Amino acid sequence: MVKNDSIIKVAVTGNTLLTLKAMQRIVNLDNYKILHVFGINSENMKNKVNSVDLSAFCSKNNISLNKTENWDSFYTDCIETKVDLVITLGDSRIIPKKIIDSFRVIGNHGAVLPGIQGGASLVWGRMLNAGSWGISIMNIDEKVDSGDILKVKSFLYDKDTSEQEFVTMSDNLTVEALLEVLAGNYSIVKNEKWRVRVAKHTDSKKAIDVLKFCVENNIPVYMPSRTPSDAKVSKEWPDKFTSIFKIANNNPYPAWTEEI
């Protein structure tokens, strides 16, 4: 991905701590220059998990911060400044087709592809409680989690690791993987479409049973996004799963609640 003797112009989408961590490293690279950040407005930041204010960082590093949430505006910014690469980090928004068609777009996924696709990866990963988890850097395609895989990395965690610690481990590893990709240290691996899809609002215990089966049998699975209603404890669950559920459904995500 590195061009010899030239500066790669970068635009970033995202507004989370992961976005900031990655940019703090990228600005120190000699051959990359971040020109634009497409963030979220102040009102939506209140509802975005792990969101951070990027204003001071962007101002310090002469980066244009676009908080209009208007993709056409961001697209125009990128076209006018001849951006080479768009990096999406910690951003659940769907990248419009015309941006994908116009620029190289790469991004992160909070699980190892192609095995685990979909949403809420870091909550599902902690609930699985397998002692290991991973992340991916990939090309962004029109369909969610379908682009070519560029880099995967895994990490180990203890059974008592908090969700916040789990997220931090994932974020830090994601940044390291991204830097390797930017340095040209990656291999393109074709992605694979999921063969099992778990429906949204499926009982969490049943969903984890499906995830566990798919992981153990190398079956690509698509896990659903989660809402606060999915963080309710069921009285029907065994105590062991309930304990793990309470760890996973916790800060920085909406905290678990007791079933009424």
- Mapped to the 3 state alphabet, what secondary structure does 146-190 carry? CCCEEEEEEEECCCCCCHHHHHHHHHHHHHHHHHHHHCCCCCCEC
Do residue 98 and residue 199 come from a single domain?
Answer: no
Domain assignment present for residue 200? The answer is: yes
State the average pLDDT over residues 117-126: 97
Pairing of strands 196-197, 85-88: unpaired
Looking at the structure, do residues 116 and 232 belong to the same domain, yes or no? yes
Residue 55 sits in a domain whose CATH number is 3.40.50.170
The amino acid occupying position 65 is: L
- Is the same domain home to 55 and 120? no
- The pLDDT of residue 4 is 60
Residues 128 and 255 placed together within one structural domain of the fold: yes
Range of the domain at 70: 1-102
Distance between CA atoms of residues 226 and 126, nearest Å: 14
pTM: 0.94
* Shared-domain flag, residues 69 and 161: no
17 lies in some domain:
yes
In the chain, the number of structural domains is: 2
Q: What is the pLDDT of residues 175-209, one digit of tens each?
A: 999 999 999 999 999 999 999 999 999 999 999 99
Residues 115 and 98 in one domain: no
pLDDT at res. 87: 99
- List the single range of 45-49, 132-136, 206-210, 246-250 with lowest mean pLDDT: 45-49
Q: Identify whether residues 165 and 86 lie together within a single domain.
A: no
